[in-house]
A = this chain, B = another copy of it.
Amino acid sequence: MELYTYFRSSAAYRVRIALNLKGLMADYRYVHLVKDGGQQHKPEYLSVNPQGLVPVLVDRGHVLTQSLAIIEYLEETHPQPPLLPKDALGRARVRALAQVVACDMHPVNNQRILKYLETAFGADEAARKLWYRHWIIEGFKAMERLLTDNPDTGKFCHGARPTLADICLVPQVFNANRFEVDLTPYPAIKRINDHCLTLKAFADAAPEKQADVA
């Protein structure tokens, strides 16, 4: 397998964690989202993924896009260890937690969105930081409630094993720290994130551990 990745992309970070948790090896292909005006816009990369986004996983010549779809694919093709619980309600809860991050938080703070804010609305760095933090705070408020109000929350977002929810949460906490969001109001999120990072699968996937870190 080959993974097209960028150290700071939180969608790529998710797939790196999933591969590590599954004990799967992939050759990393580095796509620098800033250098050269963004290598994701170059014809070589667009021929791999016309959408110009990372990550992409190539498995036996098949090109897979969208981090959550990739992780569900890994789950179906390499079921052990599982990244989703067995029961339908548990699976729905884990997927919903993952989607709070992947649908409600991350897309809104994507690099291309911040660029549009700058270009079209003249949003300076301070205004963009406010925007970024606002959506992290909105999402973490919801997530914290979903985690604290539910007896299924354990050492991880759901029970005693890492799931898709943790895989989405940890890269989002990385972003929050990068943008200096105070995590004090989110003790459950902080506790789970800290616990995840004690696992080698999570720690090795971190941006600062990547060969393309700049």
Contact = CB atoms under 8 A, between A and B. Distances in A.
Contacts of A51: 100, 104, 142, 145-146
A72 B92 contact: yes
A103 B73 contact: no
Contacts of A72: 91-92, 95
A118 to B, nearest CB: 11
A26 interface: no
B121 A117 contact: yes
Contacts of A42: none
**How many chain copies does the complex carry?**
2
B92 A64 contact: yes
A67 to B, nearest CB: 8
- Give the bracket for the number of chain A residues in contact with chain B: 35 or more
Contacts of A142: 50-51
Given A64-B96, A113-B108, A131-B116, A50 B89 contact: no
B50 A149 contact: yes
Interface string A43-79: 0000000110100000000101110111011001100
Contact of A76 (B73, B88, B117): B88
A127 B131 contact: no
A104 B69 CA distance: 13
Interface string A1-23: 00000000000000000000000
A102 interface: yes
A123 interface: yes
6 contacts: A50-B142, A66-B96, A70-B92, A73-B91, A107-B107, A121-B122
